[in-house]
């Protein structure tokens, strides 16, 4: 019986201690608040050639879509160049490790 009471008290103390460690009012970092703008609609309704307002609307929608796609392309190019840089660094590290391995093999072979 005393074991059950002791275990219960220890369990309550542990849950109280762990409960105090949780920050309920935590917020996301600054950069994570903006996930980017949603893409403009991919399909643009054709404008009536007789309506200037309709032609302007279609033109604006097409320009918005092109601008969004160019922005996505810019982000992708930046990400790609970063990955290429990482790849080159990893290759250089691999070459350095291989050269060191070969040096140790030559020394051990003497």
Reduced 3-state DSSP string for the chain:
CHHHHHHHHHHHHHHHHHHCCCCCCCCCCHHHCCCCCCCCCCCCCCCCCCCHHHHHHHHHHHHHHHHHHHHHHHHHHHHHHHHHHHHHHHHHHHHHHHHHHHHHHHHHHC
27, pLDDT greater than 70: no
pTM: 0.52
Q: What mean pLDDT is reported for the chain?
A: 84
Residue 17 pLDDT grade (very low, low, confident, very high; cuts 50, 70, 90): low
Structure tokens at 1: 């019986």
106, pLDDT greater than 50: yes
């Amino acid at each position: 019986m005393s074991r059950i009471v002791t275990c219960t008290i220890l369990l309550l103390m542990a849950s109280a201690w762990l409960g105090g460690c949780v920050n309920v009012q935590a917020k996301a970092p600054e950069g994570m608040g903006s996930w980017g703008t949603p893409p403009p609609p991919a399909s643009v309704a054709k404008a009536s050639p007789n309506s200037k307002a309709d032609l302007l609307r279609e033109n604006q929608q097409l320009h918005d879509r092109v601008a969004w796609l160019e922005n996505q392309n810019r982000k992708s190019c930046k990400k790609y160049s970063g990955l290429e840089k990482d790849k080159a660094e990893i290759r250089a590290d691999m070459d350095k490790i291989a050269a060191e391995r070969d040096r140790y093999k030559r020394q051990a072979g003497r």
